[in-house]
Amino acid sequence: MSPSITRVPAAAAALVALAGAIEDGLQVVDGPFVGELGENVLVVGFPEGGNAAYDATVTKQPGMGRPRLQESWTIHCLLSRTSGQIALGSLRDSCAQTLAALDEALREHVVEDDAWQSAALSGAMQWLPINGPHGSSCNVIFDVVGTSLL
């Protein structure tokens, strides 16, 4: 592992790669995107409201010798599903399945070299369903949290 002041860039890149492999047809976007997005999209690094796309805090680990540093980070994400159907039930179910697949992938990749020593869904989610005359959308804002040794 090479010395670094932060693992956020490596963690975000690893999360994009991991998410890209969990589901066929899921568009994974690295950061906010200007332009047309697909009907099934996951934005990794989503600045929502006044929140940053990524948060990180570094702490010293006590011990003998040179101090080891541990970084705790959060990557804010958005999962969005849209459909021409007015019913929201299938979109909510689809979002839940994608979140479960991402959770499973993170559990399988507990340690990702040069990116994290642990990573998981935080468990906190904001569900934002929208139902209109021409279709529906289900949006979920959630966080992936992790720790990395520096």
> What fold is seen in the domain 8-149?
STM4215-like (3.30.2000)
- The domain locations on the chain are 8-149
What's residue 2's pLDDT? 55
What's residue 54's pLDDT? 96
Please state, in angstroms and as integers, the Cα–Cα distance from residue 64 to each residue in 60, 67, 68, 90, 149, following that order: 12, 7, 9, 55, 16
Q: Running along the chain, 150 residues long, what does each successive block of 10 average in pLDDT?
A: 80 96 96 88 92 93 78 96 89 96 92 89 94 91 94
What's residue 67's pLDDT? 74
The rounded distance, in Å, linking the Cα atoms of 67 and 107 is 29
What's residue 50's pLDDT? 83
CB-CB contact of 107 with 68 (8 Å): no
What's residue 61's pLDDT? 80
